[in-house]
């Protein structure tokens, strides 16, 4: 049986999980592939560091360059994280003619276009199934399973930390800070948790999906990102009364240009949104991920599972290892192209031009004429109100006023709310959350 030797660089959560998974299921994979997977070396920072996964000392080295330069090693697994050393590792491996498997979404978000071009230049490949949504095979879905479809919509719950927090806020009535502290204690959130709760982790993943689906590299600087730190228990409760659930969504929408000479623009955004309780994504709870993909031929398809964690990520890496092993077995290092830039004129739609419906919460003084002033400002911006709720029984100087807004551009809404916020009767900055109808 043909043997493929693997060099692992990094033995933390991902690298250690991959090592453990190969020890457990390597023989099963060999029987299915006709190729034996053998770990030849594991590069680590500290040989003496205690590890949750026991790795044979004979395999360990602190010199990651020796792993790449070893002529007996066929594939490199980059599991160090970050974007600096990881980029150097990947490019050096390509120069040695070796393909790389990574789970590093931050690396792909920052340097994906460069790395894919380098892989093509050196006749190697970059496998990255584990970079988005853990054990959910969403990269294969977009690159292979739905290759005959034009992808018109992607909606993703792709950050387990945020989904865990919002789920508990809804189901238990808990406050944001309380649930975040529990998430950190349970290991669902890092310390500090900014990458997750500010939406940047979800943005890395959403950008990768957008690029793969639409054939041009979505510049992460053009992705609109909004986290969940401003979501309060009050908003969770009012949304529930209106028949909605709040989720952090990664959204990719294609809008066809009215002018034939112009390419279609694609919305690439991450923000909290109100989802109808009847929609399947509204019922994805805890640390689970789910991604809805709409193709022009297949229609809506849904992918659900664990989006993070050692085992889920290792499962995705094993899938890439299988593809890489088959490529080598067939004598083709790039049997499946990692990314094909087929829409070079594609562009990200600025958030100001994105049209949505909105939930708006205001804190106002309850006196005659207040609502009239608010509606006048909205009307002057050609923004319509679908419903108004002013809950009774609130004590204090101000009371909440909930507005549900018809379709409007983000630019118009932002300007109108800035004016509303300056009214003397409005006692706190307006809260705006977009409403997603999945049309």
373 closest CA partner among 431, 413, 432, 416: 416
For residues 114 and 229, membership in a common domain is answered with no
The pLDDT score that the predictor gives to residue 238 is 96
**For residue 161, what is the domain's CATH number?**
3.30.360.10
The pLDDT score that the predictor gives to residue 208 is 96
Two tokens, residue 3: 């043997």
For residues 273 and 143, membership in a common domain is answered with yes
For residues 123 and 25, membership in a common domain is answered with yes
For residues 293 and 157, membership in a common domain is answered with yes
The pLDDT score that the predictor gives to residue 359 is 98
- The predicted-structure confidence for 316-335, as pLDDT tens digits, reads as follows 999 999 999 999 988 766 66
> Is 337 among the domain residues?
no
For residues 300 and 182, membership in a common domain is answered with yes
SS3 273: strand
Q: Average of pLDDT values for 95-124?
A: 95
The pLDDT score that the predictor gives to residue 259 is 47
SS3 276: strand
The pLDDT score that the predictor gives to residue 395 is 66
- The predicted-structure confidence for 397-438, as pLDDT tens digits, reads as follows 789 999 999 999 999 999 999 999 999 999 999 999 999 989
Is 170 labeled as catalytic in the residue annotation?
no
For residues 281 and 316, membership in a common domain is answered with no
Angle between the 160-172 and 233-241 helix axes, to the nearest 10 degrees? 70
> Is 336 among the domain residues?
no
For residues 147 and 294, membership in a common domain is answered with yes
DSSP string across 114-177 = HHHHHHHHHT--EE-GGGSSTTS-HHHIIIIITTTS-EEEEEEE--HHHHHHHHHHHHH---HH
- The predicted-structure confidence for 185-214, as pLDDT tens digits, reads as follows 988 888 889 999 999 999 999 999 999 999
Of 98, 105, 170, 205, the catalytic one is 205
- The answer to whether the CB of 102 falls within 8 A of the CB of 280 is no
pLDDT, the chain, mean:
93
> Is 151 among the domain residues?
yes
For residues 151 and 211, membership in a common domain is answered with yes
- Cβ-in-10-Å burial (0-12, 13-18, 19+) of 191 comes to exposed
> Is 299 among the domain residues?
yes
pLDDT band, residue 257 (cuts 50/70/90): low
Q: What is the total count of domains within the chain?
A: 3
The pLDDT score that the predictor gives to residue 50 is 86
> Is 341 among the domain residues?
no
Ranges 107-111, 304-308, 343-347: which has the least confidence:
343-347
Q: Average of pLDDT values for 256-285?
A: 85
- The predicted-structure confidence for 378-402, as pLDDT tens digits, reads as follows 999 999 999 999 887 666 678 999 9
42 closest CA partner among 58, 21, 24, 22: 58
Which residues, 6+ apart, have CB-to-CB distance to 18 below 8 Å? 8, 77, 79, 314, 317, 318, 321
Q: Which residue has the tokens 């790449």?
A: 68
In the DSSP assignment, the letter for residue 296 is T
pLDDT at 260 over 50: no
The pLDDT score that the predictor gives to residue 331 is 78
- The answer to whether the CB of 313 falls within 8 A of the CB of 121 is no
Percent of the chain with pLDDT over 90: 86
For residues 93 and 150, membership in a common domain is answered with no
Domain's final residue, options 240, 271, 306 = 306
For residue 154, the cross-strand partners are 252, 293
Q: Average of pLDDT values for 364-379?
A: 94
Residues in the chain, total: 439
- The predicted-structure confidence for 132-166, as pLDDT tens digits, reads as follows 999 999 999 999 999 999 999 999 999 999 999 99
> Is 275 among the domain residues?
yes
In the DSSP assignment, the letter for residue 135 is T
For residues 219 and 317, membership in a common domain is answered with no
The pLDDT score that the predictor gives to residue 439 is 84
- C-beta neighbour count of 88 within 10 angstroms: 15
Which residues, 6+ apart, have CB-to-CB distance to 436 below 8 Å? 155, 249, 251, 273, 274, 275, 356
Rounded CA-CA distance 84/107 in Å is 8
Pick 48 or 301 by higher pLDDT.
301
Q: Which residue has the tokens 């890496």?
A: 317
For residues 202 and 252, membership in a common domain is answered with yes
Domain hosting residue 111, numbered range: 2-134+311-329
> Is 343 among the domain residues?
no
The pLDDT score that the predictor gives to residue 193 is 93
> Is 9 among the domain residues?
yes
**For residue 18, what is the domain's CATH number?**
3.40.50.720
**For residue 370, what is the domain's CATH number?**
3.30.70.260
- The predicted-structure confidence for 217-243, as pLDDT tens digits, reads as follows 999 999 999 999 999 999 999 999 999
Rounded CA-CA distance 405/378 in Å is 9
For residues 290 and 158, membership in a common domain is answered with yes
Rounded CA-CA distance 341/439 in Å is 28
């Amino acid at each position: 049986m043909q043997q493929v030797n693997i060099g692992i660089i990094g033995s933390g959560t991902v690298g250690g999980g991959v090592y453990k998974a190969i020890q457990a299921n390597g023989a099963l994979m060999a029987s299915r592939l006709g190729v034996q997977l053998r770990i030849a070396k594991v590069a680590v920072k500290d040989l003496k560091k205690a590890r949750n996964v026991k790795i044979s000392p004979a395999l360990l080295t602190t010199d990651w360059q020796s792993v790449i330069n070893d002529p007996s090693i066929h594939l490199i697994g980059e599991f160090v994280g970050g974007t600096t050393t990881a980029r150097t590792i990947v490019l050096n491996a390509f120069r040695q003619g070796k393909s790389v498997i990574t789970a590093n979404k931050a690396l792909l978000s920052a340097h994906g276009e460069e790395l894919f071009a380098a892989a093509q230049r050196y006749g190697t490949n970059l496998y990255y199934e584990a970079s988005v949504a853990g054990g959910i095979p969403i990269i294969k879905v977009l690159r292979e399973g739905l290759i005959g479809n034009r992808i018109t919509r992607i909606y993703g719950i792709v950050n387990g930390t945020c989904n865990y927090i919002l789920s508990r806020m809804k189901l238990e009535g808990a406050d944001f800070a309380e649930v975040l502290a529990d998430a950190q204690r349970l290991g669902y959130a890092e310390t500090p948790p900014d990458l997750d709760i500010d939406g940047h982790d979800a943005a890395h993943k959403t950008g990768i999906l957008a690029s793969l689906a639409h054939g041009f590299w979505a510049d992460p600087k053009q992705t609109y990102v909004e986290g969940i730190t401003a979501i309060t228990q009050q908003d969770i409760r009012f949304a529930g009364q209106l028949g909605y659930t709040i989720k952090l969504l990664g959204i990719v929408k294609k809008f066809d240009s009215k002018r034939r000479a112009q390419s279609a623009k694609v919305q690439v955004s991450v923000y909290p949104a109100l989802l109808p309780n009847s929609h399947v994504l509204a019922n994805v709870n805890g640390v689970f991920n789910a991604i809805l993909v709409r193709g022009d031929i297949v229609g809506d398809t849904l992918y659900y599972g664990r989006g993070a964690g050692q085992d889920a990520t290792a499962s995705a890496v094993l899938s890439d290892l299988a593809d890489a092993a088959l490529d080598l077995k067939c004598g083709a290092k790039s049997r499946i192209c990692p990314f094909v830039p087929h829409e070079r004129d594609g562009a990200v739609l600025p958030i100001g031009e994105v049209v949505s419906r909105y939930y708006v919460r205001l804190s106002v003084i309850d006196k005659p004429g207040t609502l009239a002033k608010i509606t006048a400002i909205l009307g002057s911006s050609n923004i319509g109100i679908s419903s108004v709720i002013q809950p009774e029984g609130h004590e204090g100087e101000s009371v909440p006023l909930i507005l549900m807004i018809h379709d409007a551009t983000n630019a118009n809404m932002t300007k109108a709310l800035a004016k509303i916020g300056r009214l003397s009767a409005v006692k706190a900055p307006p809260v705006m959350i977009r409403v997603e109808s999945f049309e």
